[in-house]
Chain A
Amino acid sequence: MEEIYVQITTDEISLEDAIMRVKSPNHGAIDLFIGVVRNNHDGREVSRITYDAHEKLAKRSLADICRKAMGFWPNTRYAVLHYKGELPVGGTSIVIAASSPHRAESFESCRYVIEEIKLRAPIWKKEHYLEGKSEWLPGHSLRYDAGYATELCCGKCCGEKHG
């Protein structure tokens, strides 16, 4: 069984699938975060949300976030499934399952994963309002992430971190 499972999917997200992927005989706790489409935002009535994603980079980003979580909370397992496409109010946009031997690590690591996803995963939301308009939501620029300037190499010099 994989310790990290990530998926961008156009299918309905299965909670049972997420749970099964993190279950382990020596883990006594599974924390589950479920993101669902809310019917309002900033005083506007929302009818549905379209989720867009760069699938390859999003999967890589989700896996990277989970790996970092495993560094902070060793002996944890993760399943992250994010929806791509259009969802009505009440639809499930994301499920994160985090398991660990004891409950504290599950709670903390699951919270970490969702907060990092909101900052780093190349995924976007377009809200559709009952009034008939639609808008892409503003978000967090990947350009100013710590590490953008230093962790990536230009590809033509040392092949490692820039100073």
Chain B
Amino acid sequence: MTIIIQHYGVFRNLGDSTSLEISLPTTISIIRRAMVEQLGEQHSFLVGDSVIANDIDILPDAYVIEEPCALSILPPVCGG
């Protein structure tokens, strides 16, 4: 299954999104690791400092994804 992670903030330097080939069900923790593998180890700290969210909430690492859904990765914030 292809899961698309929409990029925001500094992740936009790496394109609009990341596409991951992942079997469902999966977890946010697995998606996080897959993002580092795809984007490169040099981005591991940034991915680790970021959160993954759907359109409703920030999702904890243990959250189980059973169906295709829209996800985003949110780096550290600095609004205002």
- A residues within 8 Å of B by Cβ? 35, 51-54, 56-58, 60, 82, 93-94, 114, 117-126, 136-143, 148-149, 152-156
- B residues within 8 Å of A by Cβ? 8-10, 12-13, 48-51, 53, 55-60, 62-64, 72, 74-80
Whole-angstrom distance between the Cβ of B49 and the nearest chain A Cβ: 5
Q: For A135, give the chain B residue with the smallest CB separation.
A: B10
Q: Are A93 and B80 in contact (CB under 8 A)?
A: yes
Cα A123 to Cα B79 in complex, Å, equals 5
| B contact residues around A120 at 8 Å (CB) | 77
Query: A-side binding surface: helix, strand, loop or mixed?
Result: mixed
Cα A141 to Cα B62 in complex, Å, equals 18
Cα A118 to Cα B64 in complex, Å, equals 29
| B contact residues around A35 at 8 Å (CB) | 80
Q: Are A139 and B63 in contact (CB under 8 A)?
A: no
